[in-house]
C-alpha cells in the first residue's frame, strides 16, 4: 500500500508520496534521480498513469536531505519520467509539508535539495493554513535570444532558449495563431511538441555543471494577459505532451531571466504570469549572479497551493492494469 496526499498549485496537480516507498539510495539528488530512472519506473507508472492518475498528473517523492543544512530532498515525476525541478511542485510540497506536520516550520526558511540544486522556500501562514509560498530558485539564465528553427508544419519559428531549473524554448504564440486558453490547448500541445522535437534535433543543449540537466524539457508559449494586473500569459507544454495548468514555476524563472536579459525587468521588480486557465504566479529578480559561462539571475517565484485529498494506493497482484496506461 502506498499512501499519498494530493494538492494543486494554481490548478496543476501534485501527488506527494507519504509512505510505502523504500528510501531511495544516492549521495546526491541527481544520484537518487538516476536510481529512480533505473529502478522505480513501475512505481512512477502506478502513481501517474490511469487508472490512479491521468495523462497530466504530476508527483513528488520526498527524500532525506543530502546537504547538512537541508530540511528535505525531493524527486519529481510526470508522464514521461523524472524531472529536474518543479516550481509548482515546490509550492505545493511546502504547503503539504507544513499543513500536515511533515515539517514543523512556519515563517522560517525551508531548504530543499532538488535535482537542479538548492531551493529555499518561505511560507506565509495563518491559523495552520499556508496562504502562499515564495521560493528562491536555482540560478536561471538565457542561452540564446531570437534563435530560429525550421519546424515541420509550422515553418520558421523564432524562440528564446532559457533555463529556470529545466530548459525551455520560449515562443510568441501570436505568429502561430495559437489560442492560449483552455479551448485551444490541443493545438498548443501539437505545436509545442513539434517545436520541442525540432529544437532538440537542431542543437545541443548542455547544462554548465550537471550533464543530467542537459535536455529540452518543453515549449512555453507566451501572449498578452487576459486579466488586469497581469504581465503576460505563459502556457507550457512539457514531458510527453503535458500542459501545465499553472504558469509553471521553472518556466516563470526562465521568463524572469529573459525579461532581465532584454532589459525589461530590473532587480526587485515583479512580473505576474498567467496560466492557461488564468491562475497566477509572480516572479522577480532577487539577485544577479554568474553561472558557468552565463549571466544569471536568482529568481523568486510566489504562488499558492491547496490540499485536495488523501489516498491509499492498492496494487492487486491479479490486476491486469496494475502497471497503468494513458489515453490522450
Do residues 96 and 102 lie in contact, with contact meaning Cβ atoms separated by under 8 Å? yes
Q: Verify whether residue 236 is a known catalytic residue.
A: no
Any residues with CB less than 8 A from the CB of 155 and at least 6 apart, and which? Answer: none
Phi, psi (degrees; rounded to nearest 5) at 149: -135, 145
Residue 234 C-beta-side C-alpha neighbours within 13 Å: 31
Radius of gyration of the chain from Cα atoms? 19
Which residue in 74, 86, 252, 305 is the catalytic one? 86
Query: DSSP per residue over 244-284, as a string?
Result: -SS--HHHHHHHHHHHHHTT---TT-EEEEE-TTS-EEEEE
- Cell readout for 285 is 529578480
* Torsion-angle region of 270 (φ positive above 0: left; ψ -120 to 50: alpha; else: beta): beta
Find out whether 56 and 242 touch, Cβ atoms under 8 Å: yes
CA distance linking residue 65 with residue 72, whole number of Å? 4
- Which residues are annotated as catalytic? 86
Amino acid at each position: 500500500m502506498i499512501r499519498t496526499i494530493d494538492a494543486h498549485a494554481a490548478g496543476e496537480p501534485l501527488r506527494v508520496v507519504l509512505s510505502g516507498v523504500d528510501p531511495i539510495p544516492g549521495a546526491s539528488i541527481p544520484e537518487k534521480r538516476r536510481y529512480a530512472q533505473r529502478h522505480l519506473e513501475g512505481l512512477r507508472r502506478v502513481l501517474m498513469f490511469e487508472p490512479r492518475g491521468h495523462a497530466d498528473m504530476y508527483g513528488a517523492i520526498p527524500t532525506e536531505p543530502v546537504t547538512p543544512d537541508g530540511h528535505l530532498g525531493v524527486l519529481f515525476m510526470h508522464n514521461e519520467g523524472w524531472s529536474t525541478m518543479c516550481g509548482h511542485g515546490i509550492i505545493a510540497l511546502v504547503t503539504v509539508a507544513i499543513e500536515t506536520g511533515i515539517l514543523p516550520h512556519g515563517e522560517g526558511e525551508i531548504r530543499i535539495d532538488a535535482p537542479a540544486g538548492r531551493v529555499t522556500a518561505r511560507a506565509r501562514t495563518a491559523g495552520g493554513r499556508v496562504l502562499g509560498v515564495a521560493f528562491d530558485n536555482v540560478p536561471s539564465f538565457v542561452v540564446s535570444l531570437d534563435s530560429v528553427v525550421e519546424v515541420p508544419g509550422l515553418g520558421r519559428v523564432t524562440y528564446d532558449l532559457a533555463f529556470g531549473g529545466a530548459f525551455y524554448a520560449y515562443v510568441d504564440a501570436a505568429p502561430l495563431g495559437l489560442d492560449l486558453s483552455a479551448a485551444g490547448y490541443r493545438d498548443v500541445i501539437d505545436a509545442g511538441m513539434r517545436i520541442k522535437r525540432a529544437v532538440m534535433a537542431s542543437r545541443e543543449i548542455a547544462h554548465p555543471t550537471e550533464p543530467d540537466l542537459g535536455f529540452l524539457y518543453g515549449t512555453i508559449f507566451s501572449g498578452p494577459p487576459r486579466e488586469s494586473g497581469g504581465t503576460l500569459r505563459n502556457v507550457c507544454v512539457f514531458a510527453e505532451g503535458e500542459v501545465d495548468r499553472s504558469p509553471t514555476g521553472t518556466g516563470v524563472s526562465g521568463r524572469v531571466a529573459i525579461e532581465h536579459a532584454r532589459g525589461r525587468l530590473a532587480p526587485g521588480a515583479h512580473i505576474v504570469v498567467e496560466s492557461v486557465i488564468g491562475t497566477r504566479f509572480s516572479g522577480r529578480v532577487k539577485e544577479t549572479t554568474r553561472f558557468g559561462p552565463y549571466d544569471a539571475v536568482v529568481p523568486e517565484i510566489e504562488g499558492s497551493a491547496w490540499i485536495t485529498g488523501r489516498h491509499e494506493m492498492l496494487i492487486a497482484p491479479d490486476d491486469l492494469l496494475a502497471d497503468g496506461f494513458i489515453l490522450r
